[in-house]
Amino acid sequence: MLINPEGDPVRVWLSLLDDERPPRLINAEKPDMVIWSSLWEKRPDAQVRFDLSSDGAAGTRLRWTLFVEEPMPDAALLGHLRKRLNVLINANLRYTFGQ
């Protein structure tokens, strides 16, 4: 799902806003890490890194980290970027798996 976010027609979760674009895969080291290019026209320098690990049972722990170059976005834009990742990953993607 993270390596090809638009690749599964059954689990559609990457619902982008007008100012967003589909990410490109920059790097992936299966099964631990995925890096995306920016989703945002306003910040083409941004990258999103996903780190994955086993939860010790049947699930996966996922941590995403947003990286941007200087200058840092102002508080309003940074809040928007973080909220969008939260919605896309912690809501939309998660809910496609019934969580």
Mean pLDDT of 38-57: 93
**CA distances, 50 to each of 27, 31, 67, 89 (Å):** 10, 11, 11, 10
Q: Which pLDDT belongs to residue 99?
A: 60
pLDDT tens digits along 30-41? 889 999 999 999
pLDDT tens digits along 58-97? 788 899 999 999 999 999 999 999 999 999 999 999 888 7
Among candidate residues 74, 96, 98, the one with its CA nearest the CA of residue 14: 96
Mean pLDDT of 1-24: 90
For the chain, the domains span 25-94
